[in-house]
Amino acid sequence: MRFFLITIITLFTGITGFSQEILTGMQTNPTVQAKFMELNLIKSADAGLDTIPVTLPFFDDFSANDVFPSKLRWIDHYAFENNQYPVFPVNIGVMTLDAINDSGNMYPAAVPGPDAFIADHLTSRFIRLDSIFTPLPRRITPADSVYLSFYYQPQGRGRAPQAADSLILQFLVSPAHDSITPVDTTHVPDLWRKMWYANGMSLDTFYLHNNRYFVHVMIPVTDPVFFKKKFRFQFFNYASLASSAEPSWQSNTDDWNLDNVYLNLGRNHYDTLYHELRFIYPPPSLLKRYQAMPYPQYCNDPTNEIRDTLDILMSNRDVVAHMSSYNYYLTNPAGSFTKTYSGGNFNILPFAAPPSPYVTYQKFAHPAFPFIIPVNSTDSAVFLIKHVVKDITPGSTMGDTMQAYQKFYNYFAYDDGTPEASYGLKPAGSQLAYRFKLNKSPDTLRAIRMYFNRTLSNASKQSFFLCVWNNNAGKPGDTIFSSLVVPYYADSLNKFITFHINPPLAITGTFYVGWIQTTDDNLSIGFDSYNNSQSEIFVNTSGTWNNSSYSGSLMIRPVVGKPIPVGIADIQTGQLKLSVYPNPCRGNTLHLLLPAPAGKQQLVDSFNITVCDLVGHVVLKSRFNSEIDVSMLANGIYFLEYRDPAEFHHGVAKFILSR
């Protein structure tokens, strides 16, 4: 097997030449898909909520992390509420506009670049901009100094919008209505006025221009036409994809992050700060290397796996300092284990105060973690950690709370489960290996879980070699497992596809999992830009293993330990029973043998066959048959794939023509 792989790699490298890593966006967002399905299963009692205008002030900091915008303030579900995409946000949570719709899929209007198309919308409910009702009812006029403000950031941890892309804010001039005459009825759509826009650029360029990661925008509302009972505003973005010459790279892109959208009267152009004490980023993992790891592996060396210090980012966005306390609390679900940390009290300076807008006080920003999570003989465990910062002034309600679960299941994970981008290699023959370390050795590798992002028309769905390597002086050594597989996409809450290793593989010490390309196409692996395991990712482009050039973590998780059940999203790598003979084939007829399960011959007869050459070009398609005519194919190496129309069954086999 190893000789065959080396031969394939040599052939691929000779054919395709230069190799490289590429990050792109995603065509689907599994978190949005899951929420969309959940809401579709719930009969909403708020269908007519938008007919009731909300009153001032209008404010949303998107800290709820509810995936979709709150129906208390917004009428659509296109933008994505999250805390993973922003870089140095105003506080935890932003609203991200991109090229994915409310069902978590690419917009139907998406076309290969460079033409831009209208993508996400974020539309407010109707707002009473005609009157206020406290302390006394009265009319609102332009003299009341009404401003709409917000923070925005292009790209964040996602993909940068191009120069031809843009983020736009518009105000509603008049709602849609029917114009009725004695002879006809005409529907008049919403009439909008563009009030602000920003052209696309990378986050690096944005920071270079503005010397900050989020820019604050103040829009005065002065035209009397807007001071009415049904005022509304809307953000939307233009997005564009890769060209049609590279279909496997056509994925989500053009990300924009919005934060702290605030509309109120009695404001001025310098009203840019907020009375809040907030955390900026989600809670960090309690582990030094991983986001999650198998509990028996942790228990064998807990001291070296647990962090001794946490990194917490918080800020005071008020104009005055606040004497505050910071604590965290660690517990297990049963409550039998509890630990508390106190950082004491500290006077947190305002956000704009030098030397940093964020808290740098050691006991708040980098609190010690002097605890060891308990060890025992169970297979799994989970612990809850809650962080609390608050103003200690009597009667003050200023403060913030965040929490997270530390998981110990049967897999290693450098990623947090949310992809901000897609990772791919090119051309054929490129190799990637991801390093993991056992504390309890030997152990058994049962499966490899991978998250694949969809691309437009599923163009990235190409076969590859799933591989495992042993260790050689800190880099991948010999190939100890290889199986030809095809990416699949999971649309359920379990976003990872599980490739079972059959038979299970004995592993020791440090091992590597990854793949070898068979085509130039992007496999579109989920990439977590928030957590950085760059030092554990190795790429081999020309016979030498080197670290990846991208900061982040791949969504690849080896599963070790006891046997695991096979789920819907599982692929049995060791049980693809398709036989191809003779191989090498020296004639013009190739024979296929795929024994059908009892009573399932009709299913096998429905399979479709696709044959690809080394660079991924489809050279033959047909229905499944025990004999296939290959007389039109030139000598060389080919990959034959079968799959049923519903795509529940599939397999790949290689064959060689040598006449």
Please check whether residue 243 lies inside any domain of the structure: yes
- Only one residue has tokens 């959208």, namely 261
User: Which amino acid, 285?
Assistant: S
Total domain count for the chain? 4
Where residue 585 sits, what CATH number does that domain have? Answer: 2.60.40
Total-model pTM: 0.77
- Mean predicted confidence (pLDDT) in 307-336: 94
8 A C-beta contact, residue 293 and residue 352: no
Residues 404 and 424 in one domain: no
Return the sign of the alpha-carbon dihedral for residues 119, 160, 351, 384: positive
Q: How far apart are CA 343 and CA 321, in angstroms?
A: 17
Residues 557 and 518 in one domain: yes
Q: How far apart are CA 202 and CA 155, in angstroms?
A: 6
Q: Residue 482's beta-bridge partner residues? A: 467
Residues 265 and 301 in one domain: no
Residues 230 and 86 in one domain: yes
pLDDT-derived band of residue 563, with 50, 70 and 90 as boundaries? Answer: confident
Residues 184 and 286 in one domain: no
Residues 359 and 376 in one domain: yes
Q: Residue 419's beta-bridge partner residues? A: none
Residues 218 and 335 in one domain: no
Q: Which of 243, 272, 301 is the last residue of a domain?
A: 272
Residues 206 and 107 in one domain: yes
The pLDDT of residue 458 is: 47
For 187, counting Cβ atoms within 10 Å of its Cβ (0-12 exposed, 13-18 middle, 19+ buried), the class is exposed
- Mean predicted confidence (pLDDT) in 479-498: 73
Residues 247 and 109 in one domain: yes
Where residue 61 sits, what CATH number does that domain have? Answer: 2.60.120.260
Q: Which of 525, 543, 574 is the last residue of a domain?
A: 574
- Only one residue has tokens 């009203």, namely 271
Mean pLDDT score of the chain: 84
Residues 286 and 397 in one domain: yes
Quick: pLDDT tens for 195-244: 999 999 999 999 999 999 999 999 999 999 999 999 999 999 998 875 44
Q: How far apart are CA 19 and CA 424, in angstroms?
A: 11
For 470, counting Cβ atoms within 10 Å of its Cβ (0-12 exposed, 13-18 middle, 19+ buried), the class is middle
Both tokens of residue 431? 């190799």
Domain limits for position 625: 576-657
**Percent of residues, the chain, with pLDDT higher than 90:** 54
Residues 12 and 87 in one domain: no
Three-class secondary structure of residue 606 per DSSP: coil
Please check whether residue 413 lies inside any domain of the structure: no
Residues 568 and 580 in one domain: no
Both tokens of residue 325? 């306390």
Q: Which of 388, 408, 428 is the last residue of a domain?
A: 408
pLDDT-derived band of residue 629, with 50, 70 and 90 as boundaries? Answer: very high
Both tokens of residue 642? 């079968």
**pLDDT at residue 32 above 90?**
no
Please check whether residue 172 lies inside any domain of the structure: yes
Three-class secondary structure of residue 436 per DSSP: strand
How many angstroms from the chain centroid is the CA of residue 213? 20
Q: What is the DSSP string of 555-602?
A: -EEEEESS-----TTEEEGGG---EEESSSB-SSEEEEE-PPPTT-HH
The pLDDT of residue 36 is: 47
